[in-house]
Amino acid sequence: MMKPADLREHLSKTVRHLAINPDKLALFIDEGKLIATAGKSLSFEYQYTLNLIIQDYADHPDTIMVPVLAWVSTNQPELFSNVDKRQNGITFEADILNHDTIDLSIKINLTERVVVREVDGKPEIKHYGEPPLDEYAGLNWALFLRDQPWPVE
């Protein structure tokens, strides 16, 4: 699984508290599943909930939520574009410790595609990132056949 380490690196670069105190960020994988089919290869998909625990956080929660959202927009974009997944794709809980600090738990539903191919009799395993977002998604389309709208009304 590659995404947890990638998110840790991103947050350590973009969140001052975590850059100074890297030990205040703990990552856990909850409810993990392997989804495979009866195809010719052993390719599969990881599905899991990544639980970020940020301890003793004294800045405003926005200063961590925005970097998390920026990372998700590239690494799990369907949590924004899919109406069903955006409702529960990212959740959080906070323990208010005192007037200044909180412990924050952020849960993100993630997937990772793994392609397994046989090369020279041995398995070759490759992890693939998310496909790019369709730049034409949400646009109104019209189909023309021989310069005429189709279907003809």
pLDDT digits (tens, 9 = 90+) for 103-132: 999 999 999 999 999 899 888 999 888 876
Q: Which residue has the higher pLDDT, 139 or 89?
A: 89
Q: How confident is the model at residue 135 (pLDDT cuts 50, 70, 90)?
A: low
* pLDDT category of residue 142 using cuts at 50, 70 and 90: low
CA–CA dist 134, 28 (Å, integer): 31
At 148 the pLDDT is 73
Q: Where are the domains of the chain?
A: 3-150
Q: What is the CA radius of gyration of the chain?
A: 21
Q: Band of the pLDDT at 147, cuts 50, 70, 90?
A: confident
> Percentage helix, strand, coil, to 5, in the chain?
25, 40, 30
Q: Who has greater pLDDT, 144 or 20?
A: 20
The model carries a pTM of 0.80
Instruction: Look at the chain and count its residues.
Output: 153
Task: Work out the mean pLDDT of the chain and round it to a whole number.
Answer: 88
